[in-house]
């Protein structure tokens, strides 16, 4: 038996605390429920709150966990199960310690009289604004199970998109690492050995070899300075690009890279139209939906277009005009939005746009690897070719000198 400390509330809202001996946390929960208490927190009095140490999770709650949670919650709620019971079941099934504690806190808040959206809102570091507003809309309309299914689909789409992008970048990243590894090996091993051999002959070296030897000497002698400069550059760059101004500069750089521009544009349009359609079909006003959609976009250039559109719509204008003025959203998007506004089926049209650009993103990410592969192959070929030329040209010269010397001696 272990001793546990607990904090709880009585049915009339009075806070109580105390301690009791029990087998585990589940046993404590059962005992307190039998006493008619609503649990706020339970802690092993001898554990120094070691449970929290197991909740350290870099990157937060994985997207996969949220997808499974939304799917199963939608199934249980649509089957008529009480939300508290559904949360209790999910709490027992979730493996991620941090997410399990979050769901436990949500359950406690609901038992104390809060709505699901308010309970989620207390965990804003886990649930974003789109999720919170959709859940609130689902509760207001009485279609919470439908909204949870839509949320699960949205999270699945996001997870699938991230997975495809990572998969497309794996091969180019491997190629880049190979190039870096080859260069480091040559600079620290091959070139210094070659330099010692050529010094013994005191021969005039080609400019390519001289450059390579000088670069290698600098790298081997001052590698610690290079690492320091790179470290400062990385830390300083991250600090700058984390600021709003720096983020905007990076977004402009990314959107102007020829190979990357097409993929980024399609990804942002697909996400924008998908989320906007989801919010509108759930009953949110177009002004609020535009604001939430804008804040969900990762690229500030696309986000600013939606925020400007929100201001125009708020003043009584249409969504089509500000979208058509944008240089970032394709003309197809504004044309289809105009059709949606004219027919009164904007959410349906946006869903069709999202589906179209989802297929475009699938194709673009699939082609990204094949597009970048020759670029990195050329880069590797040029790098290795330059080094090979710098290494072997002096050898050919020395061979000629030795041949001439042999002829002269004979």
d(CA 104, CA 289): 30
Q: Is the pLDDT of residue 135 over 60?
A: yes
Tell me the per-residue pLDDT of 383-392, one tens digit each, with 9 for 90 and over.
Answer: 778 777 777 7
What is the rounded end-to-end Cα distance, in angstroms, of the chain?
Answer: 99
Among the ranges 39-43, 280-284, 366-370, which has the highest mean pLDDT value?
Answer: 280-284
Q: In terms of pLDDT, which residue wins out, 143 or 52?
A: 143
Mean residue pLDDT across the chain: 80
Residue closest to 364 by CA, chosen among 300, 268, 296: 268
Which domains are seen in the chain, by residue range?
A: 2-48 (3.10.20), 63-155 (1.20.81.30), 167-410 (1.20.81.30)
Rounded mean pLDDT of 349-369?
Answer: 85
- Sign for the CA dihedral angle at 165, 135, 333, 310 comes to negative
**203 DSSP assignment:** P
What SS3 class is residue 298? coil
Burial-class residue 196 by CB neighbours within 10 Å (0-12, 13-18, 19+).
exposed
Rounded mean pLDDT of 365-386?
Answer: 77
Q: Are 5 and 42 spatial neighbours (Cβ–Cβ below 8 Å)? A: yes
Tell me the per-residue pLDDT of 211-250, one tens digit each, with 9 for 90 and over.
Answer: 888 888 888 888 888 889 989 998 998 888 888 888 888 8
CA dihedral angle for residue 105, residue 109, residue 115, residue 120, rounded to 10 degrees: -30
Tell me the CA distances in angstroms from 8 to 17, 29, 66, 123, one per residue in order.
Answer: 6, 10, 28, 19
| Lowest mean per-residue pLDDT among 116-120, 190-194, 306-310 | 190-194
d(CA 256, CA 269): 16
Rounded mean pLDDT of 105-128?
Answer: 85
Burial 132-153 (b: 16+ CB within 10 A, else e): bbbbbbbbeeebbbbbbbbbbb
d(CA 15, CA 330): 57
Residue 15's DSSP bridge partners are: 9
What is the model's pLDDT at position 404? 46
What is the model's pLDDT at position 400? 55
pTM value? 0.69
What is the model's pLDDT at position 51? 44
What SS3 class is residue 128? coil
Residue closest to 301 by CA, chosen among 334, 340, 329, 325: 329
What is the model's pLDDT at position 45? 57
Tell me the per-residue pLDDT of 289-306, one tens digit each, with 9 for 90 and over.
Answer: 898 888 888 888 999 999
Confidence of residue 49 (pLDDT cuts 50, 70, 90): very low
Rounded mean pLDDT of 1-11?
Answer: 72
Q: In terms of pLDDT, which residue wins out, 298 or 401?
A: 298
Rounded mean pLDDT of 198-214?
Answer: 75
Rounded percentage of the chain residues whose pLDDT exceeds 90: 9
d(CA 136, CA 121): 10
Looking only at the bridges linking them, the beta strands covering 2-9 and 15-22 are antiparallel
Q: In terms of pLDDT, which residue wins out, 173 or 334?
A: 334
Q: Are 288 and 306 spatial neighbours (Cβ–Cβ below 8 Å)? A: no
Q: Is the pLDDT of residue 58 over 60?
A: no
What is the model's pLDDT at position 23? 64
Confidence of residue 50 (pLDDT cuts 50, 70, 90): very low
What is the model's pLDDT at position 396? 66
Confidence of residue 2 (pLDDT cuts 50, 70, 90): low
Across the beta sheet with 2-9, the strand order is 15-22, 2-9, 38-44
What is the model's pLDDT at position 9? 74
Residue closest to 148 by CA, chosen among 75, 212, 57: 75
d(CA 170, CA 102): 33
What is the model's pLDDT at position 405? 42
Q: Is the pLDDT of residue 330 over 70?
A: yes
d(CA 353, CA 389): 53
């Amino acid at each position: 038996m272990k001793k546990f400390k607990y904090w709880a509330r009585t049915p009339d809202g009075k806070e109580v605390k105390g301690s009791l001996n029990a087998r585990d946390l589940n046993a404590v929960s059962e005992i307190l429920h039998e006493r008619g208490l609503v649990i706020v927190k339970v802690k092993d009095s001898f554990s120094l709150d070691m449970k929290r140490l197991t909740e350290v999770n870099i990157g937060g709650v994985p997207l996969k966990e949220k997808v499974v949670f939304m799917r199963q919650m939608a199934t249980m709620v649509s089957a008529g199960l009480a939300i508290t019971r559904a949360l209790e079941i999910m709490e027992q099934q979730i493996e991620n310690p941090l997410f399990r504690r979050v769901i436990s806190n949500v359950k406690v808040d609901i038992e104390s009289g809060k709505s699901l959206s308010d309970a989620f809102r207390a965990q804003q570091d886990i649930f974003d604004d789109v999720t919170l507003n959709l859940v609130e809309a689902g509760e207001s309309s009485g279609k919470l199970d439908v909204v949870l299914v839509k949320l699960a689909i949205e999270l699945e789409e996001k997870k699938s998109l991230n997975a495809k992008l990572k998969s497309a970048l794996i091969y180019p990243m491997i190629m880049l690492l190979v190039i870096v590894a080859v260069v480091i090996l040559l600079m620290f091993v091959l070139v210094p050995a070659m330099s010692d051999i050529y010094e013994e002959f005191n021969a005039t070296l080609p400019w390519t070899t001289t450059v390579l030897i000088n670069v290698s000497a600098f790298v081997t002698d001052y590698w610690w300075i290079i690492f320091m400069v790179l470290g400062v550059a990385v830390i300083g760059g991250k600090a700058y690009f984390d600021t709003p101004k720096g983020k905007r500069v990076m977004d402009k750089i990314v959107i102007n890279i020829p190979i990357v521009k097409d993929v980024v544009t399609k990804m942002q349009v697909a996400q924008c139209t998908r989320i906007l359609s989801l919010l509108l079909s759930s009953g949110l006003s177009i002004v609020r939906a535009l604001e939430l959609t804008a804040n969900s976009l990762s690229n500030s250039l696309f986000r600013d277009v939606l925020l400007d559109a929100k201001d125009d719509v708020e003043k009584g204008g249409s969504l089509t005009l500000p979208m058509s003025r944008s240089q970032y959203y394709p003309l197809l998007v504004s044309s289809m939005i105009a059709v949606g506004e004219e027919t009164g089926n904007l959410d349906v049209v946006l869903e069709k746009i999202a589906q179209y650009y989802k297929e475009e993103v699938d194709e673009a990410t699939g082609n990204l690897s094949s597009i970048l592969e020759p670029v990195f192959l050329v880069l590797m070929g040029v790098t290795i070719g330059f080094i090979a030329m710098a290494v072997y040209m002096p050898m050919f010269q020395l061979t000629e000198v030795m041949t001439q010397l042999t002829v002269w001696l004979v």
